Amino acid sequence: MGQAITIYSSKGGVGKTTLASNMGASLAKQGFKTLIIDTDPQNSIAGVLGLELSNGLSELLNYSAKFEDVVIKTRDGFDFIPAGVEANRDTLEYTQLLQDEPYFVKESVIEEFGHLYDFIIFDTPPGFNPMANSAMLASNIILGLLEADPTSYATLDLMESILSKIRDANEKEILFVINLVDIDDVSVDFEKLLKFVFEDRYLFSLPYDSNVKKAIANCESIYTNYPESPYAVMLDEMMKIFLEKIGDM
């Protein structure tokens, strides 16, 4: 059974989808069999990969498609299951189904097909909701992502209280990643503060890098055209530390 990882944040727009897709590319280029599952009805991962809306998790949930029908092989070497057409068309129904069946993802996806992969990464919509809950229940590792800025820092208490409840109920490993650190501004102060709060739960800080948006605009991972960029180099470093850390768990 592979490692299942949820990328979670209380605040929106902190870089979860960017991290999930580039982590997938990083793991795939290291030879790991990797699956990304997008639980976000925004279908953002399909967007950053430049893919049309297609069947995915929402069609598994309403039993209108099978696992093998919704898995997409990406150019970056990882497999991908989008949130799906129904998730986008009727988000209320999709959310309700996940709320009614919070263990669907764990039991019908991870326990059935997890053996096919070394890593499964869940992208989630921001905040605590049935999508994030289902992903976290199906994961053994949660990566909490924060932006090194005052508005993200302001969500820290909320994030801590949700994640500690999840951890205590299910014995998950929770690690924190800080994104968008810019050495030229106040974000470095927030980075210091967050590192201090997280202590040994701190995993890594990723830099602000204008190449990130350029790569997304081309529907490519950061490694395709910007392998020497700060984000790519630091993400490689982060993945090294992450793999060592989970090897010791």
Ligand X SMILES: Nc1ncnc2c1ncn2[C@@H]1O[C@H](COP(=O)(O)OP(=O)(O)OP(=O)(O)O)[C@@H](O)[C@H]1O
Interface contacts to ligand X, rule CB under 6 A: 9, 12-18, 40, 44, 125-126, 179-180, 206, 208-209, 212-213, 216, 231
Structure tokens at 151: 């508005």
What is the nearest approach in angstroms of ligand X to the Cβ of residue 213? 4
CB-side exposure of 54: number of CA atoms within 13 Å? 17
Instruction: Identify whether the C-beta of residue 126 lies closer than 8 Å to the C-beta of residue 98.
Output: no
What is the nearest approach in angstroms of ligand X to the Cβ of residue 245? 21
Q: Which residues pair with 72 in a beta bridge?
A: 80
What is the nearest approach in angstroms of Mg ion to the Cβ of residue 127? 11
What is the nearest approach in angstroms of ligand X to the Cβ of residue 110? 22
What is the nearest approach in angstroms of ligand X to the Cβ of residue 87? 14
Quick one: 112 or 185, whose CB is closer to ligand X?
Answer: 185
Instruction: Identify whether the C-beta of residue 28 lies closer than 8 Å to the C-beta of residue 34.
Output: yes
Quick one: 20 or 65, whose CB is closer to ligand X?
Answer: 20
Out of ligand X, Mg ion, none, which partner does residue 18 contact, by CB within 5 to 8 A per kind? ligand X
Applying CB under 5 A, the span of 10-18, 66-74, 170-178, 236-244 interacting with Mg ion comes to 10-18
List 3, 6, 10, 17, residue binding Mg ion (CB under 5 A): 17
Q: Rg (Cα) of the chain, in Å, rounded? A: 17
11 touching Mg ion, by CB under 5 A? no
Out of ligand X, Mg ion, none, which partner does residue 14 contact, by CB within 5 to 8 A per kind? ligand X
Residues 6+ apart with CB under 8 A from 179: 14, 15, 19, 145, 146, 147, 148, 205, 206
Q: What span, in angstroms and rounded, lies between the C-alpha atoms of 124 and 102?
A: 14
Beta-carbon count within 10 A of 46 CB:
23
The closest alpha carbon to 76, from 39, 52, 112, 51, belongs to 51
Quick one: 176 or 208, whose CB is closer to ligand X?
Answer: 208
Residues 41-60: x where in contact with Mg ion by CB under 5 A, - otherwise, as a string: ---x----------------
Instruction: Identify whether the C-beta of residue 176 lies closer than 8 Å to the C-beta of residue 203.
Output: yes
Quick one: 30 or 129, whose CB is closer to Mg ion?
Answer: 129
The closest alpha carbon to 18, from 247, 235, 244, 236, belongs to 235
The DSSP output letter for 126 is S
* Cα dihedral 20, 25, 31, 33 sign: positive
What is the nearest approach in angstroms of Mg ion to the Cβ of residue 18? 8
Applying CB under 5 A, the span of 1-9, 14-22, 71-79, 208-216 interacting with Mg ion comes to 14-22
What is the nearest approach in angstroms of ligand X to the Cβ of residue 40? 6
Would you tell me which residues interact with Mg ion (CB under 5 A)?
16-17, 44
